[in-house]
């Protein structure tokens, strides 16, 4: 009894000593120590590389972390004018969780992108930026980019055959979101409208019908994408050595959203596994059966071809969907949202929407009412309007990042600097795409900026058309990347889904503008920047009404 009493007494004394101020002090000391240790473990860059921000000392680094949220875009713009325009790299502060980044000038784009992945890695950079181990539910799914290889190998190849299904989903999704009332105007939130359209169309290709119309599944995927963004913002602000704790705490919503989606799609995946196995075994009942061309089928085919039984588990397949869902939903919704704002807030006397409406209506009629790959490729104005919006309305300061993973680091021969293992390199998207030396009136939205030359070429007599001129105008298409058009990335790691996105957005704009009246916006709502990413204006309302004569 005496021992028990003294234990209780000792516990009471400890609890009494844990005042709020002492606990807060302990937490502060722990976090400060964590930040200092984290700073010491980050790669150091040569002093010969100029810097923007507050500097490189411990105190300056802490100031950089605080200023990063508000000033990052300003720092990159400053560095672009002072250094990038003069073919020099510069160092820009990053978030607390990552090392500072070296912004490579446009003149050195080829050098950076041509280095092999064993030296300068896209995959490792993406994992660090998106905290993939936590956001995408485990190292097994972040270390091996099996899902990216599935998309690379299959999406563009099968896209022409998927166009009828995409068109069908575009029509039904837009009708469901915007309604069919030809009398009364309807006011709705533009962001929510895009969230009602894009996930349905995306999942028609990823999981097929009827799952692409399942509200529980779609909500789970949208919430999952939101959780990835939120978690990334939070993890940005914590030193990396605390991520095993903070990351595991933050990932619980991701697990919950995935589990809800998995409950919907697991039976579809299991049935597909069964059907494909029976067909492969020569079951006569499956002699005439054809597997639907979607991500589930492609995943199964590749897993079997590569002898990867782990990838043939229904839970693994549905987890492989997660990063694809995130990329397809998040970026496409933002792109569509900005595109509509750019068109609706532009000077209506310029006739941008009328020009797109005329072009899409005419070409669709010539195609017999059904889109084809050839028909969509003829939408030059529509293509230009989307590309121009992606040029002028960026949602990130950079979409091309690389992490040095070679043990010996890398050396830049042009300037002579050396970066150790763990260093980060990036290309400046915003500065390049708003450079007056590359684009006339770079801050203005000119929807037909890229289509005028292409239309002029099409009108030339056949005798004046040649391969050089043809190649020159082909480079103006929205899916063609370059060192001056980085919205889809560039080089061998350019976005593999950009052809699908181009088809999807063109069909959406064609159906929307030919079948609905939309009131213009008085002004272009402006987003807010946090660090390297953007918070779109989510409260934008538009007024819309179904046209009496529809296409």
Q: Are 425 and 112 in contact (CB under 8 A)?
A: yes
215-236 helix and 122-130 helix, angle to the nearest 10 degrees: 90
Pairing of strands 101-104, 424-427: parallel
Region of residue 41 (left: phi > 0; alpha: psi -120 to 50; beta: else)? alpha
Q: Is 187 helix (H, G, I), strand (E, B) or coil?
A: strand
Residue 212 marked in a binding site:
no
Q: Are 166 and 205 in contact (CB under 8 A)?
A: yes
Taking the C-alpha atoms of residue 508 and residue 371, their distance in angstroms, rounded to an integer, is: 12
What one-character DSSP code corresponds to residue 239? Answer: -
- Which runs of consecutive H residues, i.e. helices, occur in 242-313? 243-250, 252-280, 295-305
Residue in 337, 356, 333, 355 with CA at minimum distance from that of residue 345:
337
Taking the C-alpha atoms of residue 159 and residue 394, their distance in angstroms, rounded to an integer, is: 26
Residue in 130, 141, 194, 205 with CA at minimum distance from that of residue 401:
130
Residue 361 neighbours by CB distance under 10 Å: 15
Q: Which two tokens stand for residue 169?
A: 């989903």
User: Order of strands, edge to edge, in the sheet holding 424-427?
Assistant: 90-92, 101-104, 424-427, 400-404, 120-121
Please spell the DSSP secondary structure of 456-490, one letter per residue: HHHHS-GGG--HHHHHHHHTTSTT--BTTB-BTB-
The answer, yes or no, to whether the previous bond of 210 is cis (omega within 30 of 0) is yes
Residue in 534, 522, 507, 523 with CA at minimum distance from that of residue 174:
507
Please spell the DSSP secondary structure of 362-385, one letter per residue: HHHHHTTTS--HHHHHT-HHHHHH
Radius of gyration of the chain (CA): 26
Q: Are 536 and 337 in contact (CB under 8 A)?
A: yes
Please spell the DSSP secondary structure of 497-526, one letter per residue: THHHHHHHHHHHHHHHHHHEEEPPPSS---
Q: Which two tokens stand for residue 274?
A: 């069964």
Q: Are 403 and 121 in contact (CB under 8 A)?
A: yes
Residue 396, strand partner residues: 533
Please spell the DSSP secondary structure of 28-48, one letter per residue: HHHHHHHHHHHHHHS----TT
Q: Are 535 and 550 in contact (CB under 8 A)?
A: no
Which amino acids are annotated as binding site, given as ranges? 495
Binding residues for heme: 495
């Amino acid at each position: 009894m005496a021992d028990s009493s003294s234990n209780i007494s000792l516990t009471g004394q400890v609890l009494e000593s844990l005042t709020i101020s002492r606990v807060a002090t302990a937490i502060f000391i722990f976090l400060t120590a964590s930040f200092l240790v984290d700073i010491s473990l980050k790669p150091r860059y040569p002093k010969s590389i100029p810097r923007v921000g507050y500097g490189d000392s411990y105190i300056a680094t802490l100031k950089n972390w605080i200023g990063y949220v508000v000033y990052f875009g300003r720092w990159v713009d400053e560095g672009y004018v002072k250094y990038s325009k003069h073919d020099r790299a510069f160092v820009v502060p990053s978030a607390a969780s990552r090392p500072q980044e070296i912004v490579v000038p446009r003149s050195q784009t080829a050098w950076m992108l041509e280095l092999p992945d064993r030296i300068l890695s896209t995959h490792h950079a993406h994992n660090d930026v998106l905290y993939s181990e936590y956001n995408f539910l485990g190292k097994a799914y972040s270390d091996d980019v099996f899902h990216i290889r599935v998309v690379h190998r299959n999406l563009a190849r099968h896209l022409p055959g998927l166009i009828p299904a995409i068109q069908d989903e575009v029509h039904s999704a837009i009708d469901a979101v915007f309604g069919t009332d030809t009398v009364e105007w309807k006011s709705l939130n533009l962001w929510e409208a895009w969230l009602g359209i894009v996930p349905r169309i995306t999942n028609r290709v990823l999981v097929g019908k009827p799952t692409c119309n399942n509200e529980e599944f779609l909500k789970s995927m949208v919430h999952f994408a939101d959780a990835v963004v939120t978690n990334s913002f939070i993890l940005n602000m914590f030193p990396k050595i605390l991520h095993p704790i903070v990351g595991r705490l933050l990932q619980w919503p991701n697990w919950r959203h995935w589990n809800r989606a998995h409950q919907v799609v697991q039976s579809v995946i299991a049935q597909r596994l069964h059907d494909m196995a029976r067909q492969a075994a020569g079951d006569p009942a499956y002699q005439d059966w054809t597997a639907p061309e979607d991500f589930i089928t492609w995943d199964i085919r590749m897993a079997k071809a590569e002898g990867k039984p782990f990838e043939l588990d229904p839970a693994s397949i549905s987890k492989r969907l997660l990063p694809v869902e995130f990329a397809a939903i998040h970026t496409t919704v933002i792109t569509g949202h900005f595109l509509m704002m750019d068109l609706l807030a532009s000077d209506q006397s310029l006739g941008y929407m009328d020009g797109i409406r005329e072009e899409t209506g005419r070409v669709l009629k010539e195609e017999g009412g059904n889109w084809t790959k050839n028909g969509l490729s003829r939408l030059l104005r529509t293509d230009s309007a989307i590309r121009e919006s992606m040029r002028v309305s960026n949602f990130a300061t950079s979409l091309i990042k690389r992490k040095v993973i070679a043990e010996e680091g890398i050396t830049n021969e042009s300037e002579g600097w050396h970066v150790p293992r763990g260093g980060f390199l990036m290309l400046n998207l915003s500065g390049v795409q708003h450079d007056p030396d590359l684009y006339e009136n770079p801050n203005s939205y000119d929807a037909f900026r890229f289509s005028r030359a292409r239309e002029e070429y099409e009108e030339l007599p056949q005798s004046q058309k040649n391969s050089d001129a043809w190649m020159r105008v082909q480079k103006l298409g929205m899916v063609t990347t370059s060192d001056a058009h980085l919205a889809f990335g560039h080089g061998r790691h350019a976005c593999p889904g950009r052809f699908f996105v181009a088809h999807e957005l063109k069909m959406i704009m064609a159906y929307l503008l030919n079948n609905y009246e939309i009131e213009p916006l008085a002004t272009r709502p402006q987003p807010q920047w946090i660090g390297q990413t953007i918070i779109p204006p989510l409260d934008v309302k538009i007024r819309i009404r179904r046209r009496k004569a529809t296409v």
